[in-house]
Amino acid sequence: MKSIIIGLAIATVSFTACNSNDQKSANDHVGMHTDSTTMHQHTDTTSATANAGVSIKEILTGYLQLKNALTTDNSKGAAAAGTALEATFKNYDKTVLSAEQKKLFEDIEADAREHAEHIGANAGNLAHQRVHFEMLSKDMVDLLKAFGSSGQTVYKDFCPMYNDNKGAFWISETKDIKNPYLGKAMPTCGTMKEEIK
């Protein structure tokens, strides 16, 4: 009997606790959004690039890790890379950006973070991860266009078959084609469209 009472008490309390925790984490989330520009200390060791005076090297590296996981159908690896990339975006030091650059960066960031987060939350669902990877790649192309590739030579590749033959772009660090959309099924499908320095 006693154990039933205790059990009930715990159940009621934990239900309540869950509820208030939810609210707390929601508040934290909001706080994080507004604070991320000022709070986080950035430890970027690479010097600013000549291109736009802005380094997006860490973001690019994170994206390429994600891309490489997808080329081998490694859903778990892609998820881990997605989560890491989301954090990289979040911790990016925007204080070095001009007002105009910041606006552009934040526009891309808002979208890219969501995609990275989804890829992180969908381990085991490659198809879903790839849908978000396509949109993330579009963000990445725009980011590279705006801020350069931080001294690294990368390639804009095109896979004509993905998405019911509508095709999709991705960014690669190698000249050889390794397709992240079709993975092991068609690893070399695609063509290099542009070299980005």
Can you give the binding site for another protein, defined by CB under 8 A? 1, 4-5, 8, 11-12, 15-16, 18-19, 22, 26, 107-108, 110-111, 114-115, 127-128, 131, 135, 139
DSSP 3-state assignment of 41?
coil
Question: CA 163, 169, 173, 179: dihedral to nearest 10 degrees?
Answer: 20
Q: How far is the CB of 16 from another protein (least distance, A)?
A: 6
Q: How far is the CB of 136 from another protein (least distance, A)?
A: 9
Q: How far is the CB of 117 from another protein (least distance, A)?
A: 10
Q: How far is the CB of 109 from another protein (least distance, A)?
A: 10
Backbone angles phi, psi at 101, to 5 degrees: -60, -40
- Can you read off the two tokens belonging to residue 99? 């007002």
Pick between residue 84 and residue 104 the one whose CB is nearest to another protein.
104
Pick between residue 25 and residue 47 the one whose CB is nearest to another protein.
25
Instruction: Kindly write down the DSSP assignment for every residue of 55-99, as one continuous string.
Output: --HHHHHHHHHHHHHHHTT-HHHHHHHHHHHHHHHHT--GGGS-H
